[in-house]
Structure 1
Amino acid sequence: RIVPVPSPTKTHFANSGTEAVETALKLAIHSTGREKFIAFFNSFHGRTLGSLSLTSSKIAQRRGFKRQALDVVHVPYPNTFRHPFTGERTDGPTASAAVLDWIENRLFKTTTPPEEVAAIVVEAVQGEGGYVPAPREFLQGLRRICDEHGILLVVDEVQSGMGRTGKMFACEHYDLKPDIITLAKGIASGVPMGACVARADLMDWKPGAHASTFGGNPVAIAAALKTIELLERELIANSASAGAYLQDGLRQLAQRHECIGDVRGLGMMIGVEFVSDRESNAPAPELRDRVEMECYRRGLIVLGAGHNTIRWSPPLVLARAHVDVALEIFDEAISAALKG
């Protein structure tokens, strides 16, 4: 009822995000008869062997696993703060065109026949990669490519779904309708649960082809139903309004601190990227780490994303009064971190 996947749909319930992604991968192979996948640099889809084949946000996640479980080709993600090929700041259409052209005119014509690709797996907002929202032109372009070549479009909304971006799903910001969507994290307010939702015609498993012992257990389902009720009643709207207020405050801080190179995001999924200076926009991971620690010392818990970004992913019950306190602490933490 609530997912942006074309109706009718079927759902496989799981226990986590990585299990939901594994389901999507098996389903893509099962329904297409193909075995290749396209994913994106700086993506995160999980740490089990199948999802790890897609993940490329940090080398620590893949080191020691010499042979990946799946045949995956990684391509750049259109980050408008850093052009995927030049590294310069750019706009959405330009970054999108560069990546889409790479897929269609490099990848498909040199190493990866499109008729062998089962699915393109993408985050509408990259999570571990630095909280980077995709340009609209990029996601719509992927939909077109998939339609032209019989490739499935899988959107991983494990981090961005369930009200996090100010809509139930990040896909809704782009009017995007994937073939398969993966969900977890906020889906049941902390109770372990994941889900893979797909077009019903795809999820035509033969008996025994796929299952999960504890997936869809009564406790998780009850928690998910109540979570959805609260999201629809007020929390999605609060995510949008309080998130906009938070992002506006962070942009004001960026005017005072030259070390903030970019503030970006949707709803309450916001990334603040730290740079050594705004002329070069060189990443400043050590400064980011110091800011994170100074925040912690002052009672504000934030977490890194990518190599030099701090992610803001607060509870969806966040009030403006909480935002004001958090921004004050963040301001103090940056000043302290700059002093070394």
Structure 2
Amino acid sequence: MSLSSKIIEEDSRYLMQSFSRWYPLVIDHAKGSIVYDVEGREYIDMNAGIGVMALGHGNEKVINAVQEQMRKFFHYSLTDFYYDLAVRVARKLVSFFPFQGKVFYTNSGTESVEASLKIARGHTGRQYIIGFTNSFHGRTFGSMSFTSSKYVQRSIFSPLLPSTLLVPYPDRHNPLCQGDCSSAILGYIEDWVFKKIVDPNDVAAFLIEPIQGEGGVVVPPKQFLQGLEKISRDNEILLILDEVQTGIGRTGRMFAYEHFDVKPDLVCLAKALGGGLPLGAVVGRSEVMDLPRGSHANTFGGNALALAAAEVVLEEVPRILSGVERNGKLIFDNLASSNSLYLEEVRGRGLMIGADLRKDGKPFEEGLEKVLHKSFLRGVLAIGAGESTVRLLPPLIIEEELAQKGSSIIAQEISKL
């Protein structure tokens, strides 16, 4: 039995199997945009730990910052005491936003979403929150109430959070999206939801991904997000953007909302923020971040080691955004050049790209599994999204040569379907 097979067998014995792996990769170590398995095989990383390793694996600046902080202290609860590093990172983080802001640190994306829901209800005194179908916001009870990219994510866990509503996301495969999708859904909110289901004066917030990740890398029309912002402003409803996957340079801008010329009230972050260490944050307008003392806190949010890594990430990512756009276009064009009848569309921004596979107009799940497995066997790591979308989220620092080679192999495997 190989070492990989032994570890996979032990994994099945000792870990709860409530998640699915795409293929039998057992990682030993990684450097830059290359991952090595326990047998010594190397792979081009087109996944980056689901968009986490923005600066690649083993980044020396991140390692040095974390090591320096380790010599000072690992942890001392920020919710009970003070340290300058937390202030420095918050100051740097809010400098990227179009408002005077404040930060609440968390440990993960789902916790950032949970915090944003509490902030919205606490600030407005309103009860209802409206989310969108096909979204993914996390798997804890509040965030799960707005997650609907796959039925299994919520099917056995009811009752979920009350006073929540889901309305259609502007995906062209949505039955409502015949013709002007944006106007249809915005009209549905104003003319049906607000008149038949809930008074807008009872709605605290809209929660939306500016680009859906797990749902299939779905990019909404610009006018849709702008129209949603207008509805929010007209009714004093907060606009919460979940940028857990899209934030920190992933789309070629520091935050995806910049592509749409909208201004959020609250933004949820995690994944790339901590440079590979568990760190999330909610960034919001100062006047909105007003929960009373004692009403929300955590133990590990703003952990000193994670913040040391984040300080490097926030310094380095703005410098590489032009490369993100350039390599993103290269990968996009390579995938779009596939001559497969099953490639319906390539979507995305920057280095967040999805190749949607369909057969007879329906999701081609078997095709997705085949492309991912065959690419893995040829030394390329990618994952899926939605029902049958190949999702590419490489490190933002990926070299052009590796971006070219990795995306070409995936395009070839799509063509072979």
Answer yes or no: same fold by TM over 0.5. yes
Mark the CA change 1:244 to 1:335 in structure 2 (over 3 Å): closer, same or farther.
Answer: closer
Question: Structure 1 residues 84 and 144, CA, compared in 2 at 3 Å: closer, same or farther?
Answer: farther
Equivalent in 276, 284, 288 of residue 364 of structure 2: 284
RMSD (CA atoms): 1.5
- Paired residue for 1:149? 235
1:85 counterpart residue number = 176
Partner of 2:115: 23
Once residues 313 and 401 of structure 2 are traced to their aligned partners in structure 1, the CA distance between those partners, rounded to angstroms, is: 24
Q: Which secondary structure does the structure 2 equivalent of 1:143 belong to?
A: helix
Instruction: In structure 1, give the amino acid aligned to 2:332.
Output: Q
Measured at CA, do residues 79 and 151 of structure 1 come closer, stay the same or move farther in structure 2, by a change above 3 Å? same
- Separation in 1 of the partners of 2:144 and 2:318? 33
Q: How many residue pairs end up in the alignment?
A: 325
Contact 2:105-2:281 within 8 A present in 1 as well: yes
Match of 2:340 among 257, 271, 278: 257
Amino acid at match of 2:344: G
Q: Which residue of the partner structure matches residue 238 of structure 1?
A: 323
Per the TM alignment, residue 83 of structure 1 is displaced from its structure 2 partner at its CA by 4.4
Instruction: Tell me, yes or no, if structure 1 residue 306 matches structure 2 residue 383.
Output: no
Q: Quick check: 1:27–1:202 contact (8 Å CA) kept in 2?
A: yes
- Cα displacement (A) at 1:283: 2.0
Alignment partners' CA distance in 2, 1:118 and 1:331: 44
User: Secondary structure, in 3 states, of the residue corresponding to 1:11?
Assistant: strand
TM-score of the two chains, using structure 1 as the length reference: 0.92
CA shift digits 1:108-144 (9 cap, x unpaired): 1111211111100000000110001121101001100
2:355 matched residue in structure 1? 272
- The alignment-based identity, stated in percent, is 43
Corresponding residue of 2:149: 57
- Residue type of the alignment partner of 1:134: P
* Residues 1:119 and 2:205 aligned together: yes
Distance 1:148 1:222 in 2: 40
CA contact 2:330–2:404 (8 Å) conserved in 1: no
Stretches of structure 1 lacking an aligned partner (at least 5 in a row):
none
Q: Judge conservation of contact 1:44–1:56 (CA < 8 Å) in 2.
A: yes
- Partner of 1:133, secondary structure, is coil
Counterpart residue type for residue 378 of structure 2: R
CA contact (8 A) 1:180 1:199 kept: yes
TM-aligned CA deviation for residue 335 of structure 1: 4.3
Alignment of 1:68-79 (within 5 A): 68-79=160-171
TM-superposed deviation, 1:2: 5.0
Runs of 4+ in 1 over 4 A off after TM superposition: 1-6
Structure index of larger Rg: 2
TM-score, normalisation: structure 2:
0.75
Mapped contact 1:49–1:69 kept (Cα < 8 A):
yes
* Aligned counterparts of 1:274 and 1:100: Cα–Cα separation in 2: 28
Is the 8 Å Cα contact of residues 78 and 84 (structure 1) preserved in structure 2? no
CA displacement 1:70-128 (0-9 Å, x = unmatched):
32111111113x24425x6x6xxx11111101101111111121111110000000011
Gaps of 5+ in 2: 1-91
Question: Is 1:296 aligned with 2:376?
Answer: yes
The equivalences for 1:69-218 within 5 A come to 69-80=161-172, 82-85=173-176, 94-218=180-304
Contact 2:129 2:204 in 1 (8 A): yes
For the residue of structure 1 that corresponds to 2:362, the secondary structure is coil
Once the two structures are TM-superposed, the CA of residue 176 in structure 1 deviates from its matched residue by: 1.2
Partners in 1 of 2:234 and 2:107 — Cα distance?
34
1:205-226: per-residue Cα shift (whole Å, max 9, x none)? 2210111111112111111010
Higher relative contact order (CA 8 A, sep 6+): 2
